[in-house]
With several copies, the nearest count.
Chain A
Amino acid sequence: MIDKRVASAREAVADVRDGATVMIGGFGEAGSPIELIHALIDQGAKGLTVISNNTGTGLVGLAALLRAGRVRKVICSFPRTAGSTVFPDLYRAGKVELELVPQGTLAERIRAGGAGIAAFYTPTAAGTPLADGKETRAFDGREHVLEHGLRADFTLIKGRVADTHGNVLFHRTARNFAPMMATAAAVTIVQAAEVVQAGTLDPECVVTQGIFVDRVVHVPSPALESALNEAGASYP
Chain B
Amino acid sequence: MSAASTGRTESTLGWTREGIAERVAQDIPNGSYVNLGIGIPELVARYVPAGRTLVYHTENGLLGMGPSPAAGQGDPELINAGKRRVSMMPGAAFFDQATSFAMIRGGHLDLSVLGALQVAANGDLANWSTGADDAIPAVGGAMDLVAGVKRVFVMTTHVTKEGAPKLVERCTYPLTGRGVVTRVYSDLAVIDVTPKGFKLVELAPGVAFDFVQERTGAPILRPTPRTGA
Contact = CB atoms under 8 A, between A and B. Distances in A.
Interface of A: 1-2, 27-31, 53, 77-82, 87-88, 91-92, 98, 100-108, 110-111, 113-117, 122-130, 163-165, 167, 170-180, 183-184, 197-199, 201, 203-204, 206-207, 209-212, 224, 226-227
B102 A126 contact: no
A129 B91 contact: no
A203 B88 contact: yes
Interface residues of B, number: 60
B137 interface: yes
A197 B105 contact: no
26 contacts: A2-B31, A27-B83, A30-B79, A31-B77, A82-B83, A87-B136, A98-B137, A103-B101, A104-B148, A105-B144, A114-B106, A116-B105, A125-B147, A126-B178, A127-B177, A127-B178, A130-B143, A172-B94, A173-B62, A175-B61, A180-B96, A199-B90, A203-B62, A203-B94, A209-B63, A209-B103
B139 interface: yes
A207 B134 CA distance: 41
A165 B55 contact: yes
A102 B143 contact: yes
A104 B101 contact: yes
Contact of A173 (B78, B104, B108, B144): B78
Interface in B35-65: 53, 55, 57-64
Interface in B60-106: 60-64, 75-79, 83, 88-106
Contacts of A126: 147, 177-178
A173 B177 CA distance: 27
A104 B108 contact: no
Nearest to A163: B91
